C-alpha cells in the first residue's frame, strides 16, 4: 500500500492522490452522486488526522485515531464512507448529524446540506475536528461534545443521521431526533445471523417506513452503541 509520503516522493500532490482515490476506489463501485464525488476530490482527509498518520490519508483502509484517555475512533474506508453518505440521500437545505466521523464526513457534507452537526464524546478529537473544519472554512458545520449514544437533541430534528461505526443497540434514541420523513444510516446486522451491513432506515410521517441495505461493511462498534454484556450463571 503506497502512502501519501511515498507518492509525494514520486512527485504526486495531495490533490492528485485525492483524484486517484476517487477514480480507483469510488467511481468503480456505484458512486454516482457527482456533487459528492466533487467533495471527495476537494476535501483533504489528512487535515483530520494527526501528523503521524497523514501518510495513510488516501489509502483504501480504515484509519484509527486516538484521543484523550485512550479513546479510539475509526475513519471508515473512503469507499464505505462514500457509499454511506450517498445512501443517506443528503439534500440542499437539510440538517445532518454525523456521529463519530472525526470531522471529515462533516466537511464533506457541509456543501451538500444546509447545516451539519458533528458529534464527538472525546474533547481532544472534537478539538481536532473543529480545527479541520475551521481550516476548510466550513461555516455551516459545528462540533458538539456529548455522549455519542445520546445523539444531539439540542439541535434536533435532523433530516439525516449518520452513525459512523457498528451499532448493536441505541438507534431508538436517534430515531426520536429525526424529522418525520428523516433517514438514518448505520452499520448494523439487520437480522439475526446476518453480517454487518450499511443500512438506511427511513421514516414517513413520523413512522418507521422500512430499511434498505446498501452494502456489506464491518467496523468497530462505536462508543455508546454496544449492547450491555449479559450475565451467564
* Percentage of the chain lying above the pLDDT 90 cut: 61
- Cα–Cα distance, 107 to 137 (Å, whole number): 9
The pLDDT of residue 58 is 83
- Cα–Cα distance, 147 to 118 (Å, whole number): 12
For residue 190, what is its C-alpha cell? 439487520
* Digit-coded pLDDT (tens) for 135-160: 999 999 999 999 999 999 999 999 99
Three-state DSSP at 136 gives: coil
Q: How many residues are recorded in the chain?
A: 233
The pLDDT of residue 231 is 53
* Digit-coded pLDDT (tens) for 165-213: 999 999 999 999 999 999 999 999 977 777 899 999 999 888 888 899 9
* Digit-coded pLDDT (tens) for 155-177: 999 999 999 999 999 999 999 99
Helix (H) or strand (E) holding 135: helix 123-135
pLDDT reading at 62 higher than 90: no
Alpha helices in the chain (DSSP H): 4-9, 14-21, 34-42, 78-87, 104-109, 123-135, 171-175
- Mean pLDDT confidence for 119-145: 94
- At 12, the pLDDT band (50, 70, 90 cuts) reads low
pTM for the model: 0.90
* Digit-coded pLDDT (tens) for 87-120: 999 999 999 999 998 899 999 999 999 999 999 9
Evaluate the CA torsion angle 213, 49, 90, 164 in order and state its sign. positive
Amino acid at each position: 500500500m503506497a502512502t501519501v509520503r511515498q507518492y509525494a516522493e514520486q512527485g504526486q500532490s495531495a490533490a492528485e492522490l485525492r483524484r486517484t482515490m476517487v477514480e480507483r476506489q469510488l467511481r468503480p463501485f456505484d458512486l454516482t452522486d457527482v456533487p459528492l464525488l466533487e467533495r471527495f476530490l476537494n476535501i483533504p482527509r489528512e487535515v483530520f488526522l494527526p501528523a503521524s498518520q497523514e501518510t495513510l490519508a488516501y489509502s483504501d483502509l480504515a484509519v484509527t485515531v486516538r484521543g484523550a484517555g485512550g479513546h479510539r475512533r475509526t475513519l471508515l474506508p473512503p469507499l464505505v464512507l462514500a457509499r454511506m453518505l450517498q445512501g443517506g440521500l443528503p439534500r440542499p437545505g437539510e440538517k445532518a448529524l454525523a456521529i463519530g466521523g472525526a470531522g471529515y464526513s462533516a466537511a464533506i457534507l457541509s456543501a451538500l446540506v444546509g447545516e451539519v452537526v458533528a458529534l464527538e464524546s472525546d474533547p481532544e478529537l472534537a478539538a481536532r475536528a473543529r480545527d479541520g473544519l475551521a481550516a476548510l472554512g466550513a461555516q455551516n458545520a459545528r462540533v458538539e461534545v456529548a455522549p455519542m449514544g445520546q445523539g444531539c437533541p439540542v439541535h434536533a430534528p435532523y433530516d439525516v443521521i449518520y452513525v459512523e461505526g457498528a451499532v448493536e443497540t441505541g438507534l431508538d434514541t436517534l430515531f426520536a431526533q429525526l424529522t418525520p420523513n428523516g433517514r438514518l444510516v448505520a452499520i448494523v446486522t439487520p437480522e439475526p445471523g446476518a453480517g454487518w451491513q450499511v443500512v438506511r432506515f427511513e421514516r414517513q410521517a413520523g413512522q418507521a417506513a422500512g430499511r434498505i441495505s446498501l452494502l456489506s461493511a464491518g467496523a468497530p462498534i462505536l462508543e455508546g452503541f454496544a449492547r450491555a454484556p449479559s450475565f451467564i450463571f
